[in-house]
Amino acid sequence: MTTPPPSRSLQRLRDLTSARVGLGRAGASLPTGALLEFTLAHARARDAVHAAFDGPALISGLDGLGLETLAVSSCARERTDYLRRPDLGRKLDQVSRQLLASRNAGPCRLAIVVGDGLSPAAVNAHAVALVRSLMPRLAGERIEIEHAVVASGARVALGDEIGAMLGARMVVVLIGERPGLSAPDSLGAYLTFAPRPGVTDAERNCVSNIHGAGLGYDEAAFRIAWLVHEGLARGVTGVALKDESGGPIAQRIATD
């Protein structure tokens, strides 16, 4: 049994979204092509979760941008522990705490943490390029990244402890987002003012979906820089800080 070609309106909808719509059917099941595409997407998502985190390459890339980068680890030593025990990914191990404590860091405005998260593949692919685009935008606001940290076994909240130990007024965590069936390599940026253990997600801002078919580096950097500047100026992030940057997306909508 063959699947009839999609209607014109359905084809236009497909052109506008990566969602799986109007896949058709073969008897009581999906057509073979649609099933194979789904299976491949699922495999890519699983591979992204278990991809090796290339910490040395990230450190080299960030150092090449003029940042002095530290390497730390969470209490989640193995990937299986990381996936089964999210709490372990929110706490630094003892060696990392000692390393950060030995820095004797004074107060600073901004620290950046690059963590593997649920898609190391996304971080490996996008983190350095995003920081490269972000730095000149921050410089335009007279803000510099004073500390850079690469963290393995990281959940978003690991940045709270790192930021607190570094005396940062704000921390930006770049981390791999949970892989989806259309985007296994999506990067997220989480911004927290006055980071400290116990901060809730309501006190963070997020710029997400940063990848080749999603939010581009320049646009993401524009939004992150605006949120950093306004967060520092107002002393807040999260639900108290709305993205009113009027960035490229907003400008396109206004002119459409």
CB 114 within 8 A of CB 129: no
CB 111 within 8 A of CB 168: yes
Q: Is 177 annotated among the ligand-binding residues?
A: yes
One-character DSSP codes across 102-128: HT----EEEEEEEEEET-HHHHHHHHH
DSSP classification of residue 74: B
Rounded CA separation 246/248 (Å): 7
Q: Is 156 annotated among the ligand-binding residues?
A: yes
3-state secondary structure of 60: helix
Rounded CA separation 134/128 (Å): 10
Residue 186, Cβ density class (10 Å: 0-12 exposed, 13-18 middle, ≥19 buried): buried
Which residues carry a binding-site annotation for adenosylcob(III)alamin? Answer: 156, 177, 206
Which residues carry a binding-site annotation? Answer: 156, 177, 206
